[in-house]
Amino acid sequence: MQSRYFALSAAGILCGLFVFSSYSQAQTRIQGAVSDQHTITLTGNHHPLARPEFDAGPVAPDFVMGRMILALQPSADRASALDALLAAQQDPSSPQYHQWLTPDEFASQFGVSQTDLQQVTQWLNGHGFTIEEVPAGSQSIVFSGTAAQVETAFHTSIHSYNVGGKTHHANATDPQIPEALAGVIAGAVSLHDFQRKPLHARIESAPAYTTGTTH
């Protein structure tokens, strides 16, 4: 309201404190050592058009890959609380109806902990990646690097693919991450340059809304 683009009314603040007070402090979930020797696979992080029949071979090791995105996920209780808040914001009978959160408020109530965020960024930095941005909401990390760095960190290779007369690049297999980071990292986005089709119609004019990468 007034000078704030995202705002919470007094009623919304009181209700939010009552319903979501137990989630005001994010739990640190990365407890063990972050080791590249013990990994898990991020299934479903391989583009369907990156198929053998289109494969033109691996890209050069110094091939630059800019603005890749590592999607982060909140704990289960914070995810449930967010779903409840989103439902309440659309319910005219709720005190939280249209009571939108600022990015900082969203991060505080629903983002990953700062300790977990630092652990993930340190792992990326350790593999030579450049952290470009941590968007408001603390639900993703934007980073850049080379194909060689991607191969070492994510245990996959970047190949060129000739599809429909155009050349694209993409990871040839699902990426892997250290097992210790599994509860915090939801997926690796933009390890390819295939264009995404929009899943929704464009809205020319819309109100401010609770911010986040998954909602």
Which tokens is 123 given? 């792992």
Pairing of strands 140-146, 176-178: unpaired
| pLDDT score for 41 | 97
Say whether pLDDT at 185 is over 90.
Answer: yes
What does the alpha-carbon distance between residue 139 and residue 47 come to, in Å, rounded to a whole number?
22
Q: Between these two residues, 93 and 172, which has the higher pLDDT value?
A: 172
With a pLDDT cut of 90, the percent of the chain lying above it is 51
Q: Which residues pair with 159 in a beta bridge?
A: 58, 170
Can you tell me whether residue 55 is helix, strand or coil? strand
| pLDDT score for 93 | 87
Highest average pLDDT, of 7-16, 149-158, 183-192, 203-212, comes from: 149-158
Contact 64, 174 (CB under 8 A): no
With a pLDDT cut of 70, the percent of the chain lying above it is 77
Residue range 43-52, pLDDT digits in tens: 999 999 999 9
What does the alpha-carbon distance between residue 187 and residue 45 come to, in Å, rounded to a whole number?
7
Contact 68, 143 (CB under 8 A): yes
What does the alpha-carbon distance between residue 140 and residue 136 come to, in Å, rounded to a whole number?
9
Please list, in sequence order, all residues whose beta carbon lies within 8 angstroms of the beta carbon of residue 16, skipping any fewer than 6 positions away: 8, 85, 96, 99, 109
| pLDDT score for 13 | 33
Order of all β-strands in the sheet with 158-163: 55-58, 158-163, 166-171
